[in-house]
């Protein structure tokens, strides 16, 4: 078992510096253009694929870092470059995590490579969980999956929303209800292979931030997928549903939910994204405060500015430590007895919103214009307190974990 340390090893430092260089030289110069275009930055994704950043091998190497710091380190550097473009680069990872969390070895080996494609033919994937009436309230999910035993096929019907890469993905991972009587415990995840009839893109959303990342509805109309596209397989699903029914009768213990397993695994990574955005805004504000003069001196000479920057940096470092702790715990098999994963996402997300707002304030009128990047960073930061579990949901998870009570 790897011992906890705050020192990155030489390999980690090399990867961090490589990612930072890509973020500085490729992502950041393109950020404003693709934010304005509100389109998927395919050329940037392809550049990432050419150098090996957008690839299964790269994320596997970071995922299996024995310290747990590979993924959060990568997320922080890429999102330091730009949140919208970075999300287009890493968005496929959520679908991949969905397969890793719930799939068999054969499913992992079959479908994850198809999510990425290669440098000459880049593909993306989508994880489809949220619905128009079921975001944080996963128990209200309506998308149904019905098993056609005669054909060994699952038939999916429903509408998913807020899906990153939804409709443009090569592979979609869809969470659906298989037993409505079990609430959120009656869910399962399915692979929808490329070009499957009945799957279409619905509304593409025009967003406040992360505008270079494609977000859309996914409509499923009598979508038929082979039985082997049920993640984990039917035998495992039947056993899980049987246990859930027995425990429901007994007033029972919690059973793992397919969508929640994906989110639990990804929350510290989302926290790292928020840290990257916060750090980027802080650095812009610090540089500006050192060079902008008012009343004959740099504005950082004023305590009102200097103290804000001190607080910003302190919050960023604290957020990073929470993210690193949760990532290390997850990798080394230590249970989140105090909901440490949710703590990391909650604090980092709120930090990103606060720090980017302070950066705008320090830049004054300039910060409110699109001539400076902090305006875009502030818009981008708003998403961290919303997607993959709102801040309110994180607080609920933490409170329930600490108290052992069904707080509502």
Q: Cα 129 vs. chain centroid, distance in angstroms?
A: 13
pLDDT at 255: 47
State yes or no: pLDDT of 164 exceeds 80: yes
pLDDT at 266: 77
pLDDT at 408: 85
Mean per-residue pLDDT, 46-63 = 94
The one catalytic residue in 36, 340, 388, 392 is 388
Mean per-residue pLDDT, 53-63 = 92
Mean per-residue pLDDT, 353-366 = 98
203, 194 in Cβ contact below 8 A?
Answer: no
| Segment (H or E) for 265 | helix 258-291
pLDDT at 264: 62
pLDDT at 18: 98
State yes or no: pLDDT of 260 exceeds 80: no
Mean per-residue pLDDT, 141-169 = 97
More confidently predicted of 137 and 240: 240
pLDDT at 140: 83
From 198, 201, 258, 200, select the one nearest 225 (Cα to Cα).
198
Running DSSP on this structure, what letter comes out for residue 218? E
Mean per-residue pLDDT, 27-56 = 97
State yes or no: pLDDT of 196 exceeds 80: yes
Running DSSP on this structure, what letter comes out for residue 210? -
Cα distances (Å, whole numbers) of residue 138 to 129, 182, 197, 205, 226? 8, 12, 26, 21, 25
Active site residue 388: yes
pLDDT at 263: 59
Buried b or exposed e, range 199-236, using 16+ CB within 10 angstroms: bebbeebebebbbbbbbbbbbbeebebeeebbbbebee
222, 162 in Cβ contact below 8 A?
Answer: no
Q: What percent of the chain has pLDDT over 90?
A: 85
pLDDT at 134: 77
Tell me the DSSP string of 127-175. Answer: EE--BTTBSS-GGG---EEEEETTTTEEEEEEEEEEEETTTT-SEEEEE
Two tokens, residue 394: 């994180």
State yes or no: pLDDT of 118 exceeds 60: yes
Tell me the DSSP string of 88-140. Answer: HHHTHHHHHHHHHHH--HHHHHHHHHHHHEETTEE--EEEE--BTTBSS-GGG
Strand partners, 219: 159, 200
State yes or no: pLDDT of 388 exceeds 50: yes
**Residue with tokens 């993959």, as numbered in its chain:** 388
Close Cβ partners of 167 (under 8 Å, ≥ 6 residues apart): 126, 199, 200, 201, 202, 204, 214, 216, 217, 218
pLDDT at 13: 97
pLDDT digits (tens, 9 = 90+) for 309-332: 999 999 999 999 999 999 999 999
From 223, 125, 235, select the one nearest 173 (Cα to Cα).
125
Buried b or exposed e, range 372-406, using 16+ CB within 10 angstroms: bbbbbbbbbbbbbbebbbbbebbebbbeebeeeee
Other beta carbons within 10 angstroms of residue 1's beta carbon come to: 8
pLDDT at 108: 95
Mean per-residue pLDDT, 147-172 = 97
pLDDT at 262: 55
């Amino acid at each position: 078992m790897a011992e906890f340390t705050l020192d990155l090893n030489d390999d980690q430092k090399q990867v961090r510096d490589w990612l930072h260089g890509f973020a500085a030289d490729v992502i950041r110069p393109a950020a404003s253009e693709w934010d304005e275009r509100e389109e998927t930055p395919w050329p940037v994704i392809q550049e990432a694929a050419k150098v090996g950043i957008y690839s299964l091998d790269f994320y596997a190497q970071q995922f299996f870092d024995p310290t747990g710091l590979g993924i959060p380190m990568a997320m922080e550097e890429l999102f330091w470059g730009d949140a919208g473009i970075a999300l287009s680069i890493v968005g496929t990872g959520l679908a991949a995590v969905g397969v890793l969390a719930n799939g068999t070895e054969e499913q992992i080996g079959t479908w994850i490579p198809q999510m990425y494609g290669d440098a000459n033919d880049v593909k993306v994937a989508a994880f489809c969980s949220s619905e128009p009436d079921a975001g944080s309230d996963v128990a209200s999910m309506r998308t149904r999956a019905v098993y056609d035993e005669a054909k060994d096929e699952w038939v999916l019907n429903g509408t998913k929303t807020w899906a990153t890469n939804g409709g443009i993905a090569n592979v979609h991972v869809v969470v659906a209800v298989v037993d409505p009587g079990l609430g959120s415990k009656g869910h399962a995840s399915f692979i929808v292979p490329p070009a499957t009839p009945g799957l279409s893109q619905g509304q593409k959303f025009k967003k406040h931030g992360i505008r270079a990342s494609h977000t859309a509805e996914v409509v499923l109309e009598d979508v038929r997928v082979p039985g082997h596209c049920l993640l984990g397989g039917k035998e495992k699903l039947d056993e899980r549903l049987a246990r859930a029914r027995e425990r429901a009768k007994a007033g029972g213990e919690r059973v793992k939910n397919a969508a929640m397993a994906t989110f639990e695994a990804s929350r510290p990574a989302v926290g790292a994204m928020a840290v990257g955005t916060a750090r980027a805004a802080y650095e812009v504000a610090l540089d500006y405060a050192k060079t902008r003069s008012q009343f004959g001196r740099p504005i950082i000479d004023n305590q009102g500015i200097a103290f804000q920057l001190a607080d910003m940096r302190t919050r960023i470092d604290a957020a990073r430590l929470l993210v690193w702790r949760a990532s290390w715990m997850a990798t080394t098999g230590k249970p989140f007895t105090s909901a440490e994963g949710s703590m990391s996402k909650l604090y980092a997300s709120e930090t990103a919103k606060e720090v980017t707002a302070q950066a705008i304030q320090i830049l004054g009128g300039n910060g409110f214009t699109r001539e400076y990047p902090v305006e875009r960073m502030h818009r981008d930061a708003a998403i961290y307190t919303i997607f993959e579990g709102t801040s309110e949901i994180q607080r609920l998870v933490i409170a329930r974990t600490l108290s052992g009570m069904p707080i509502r």
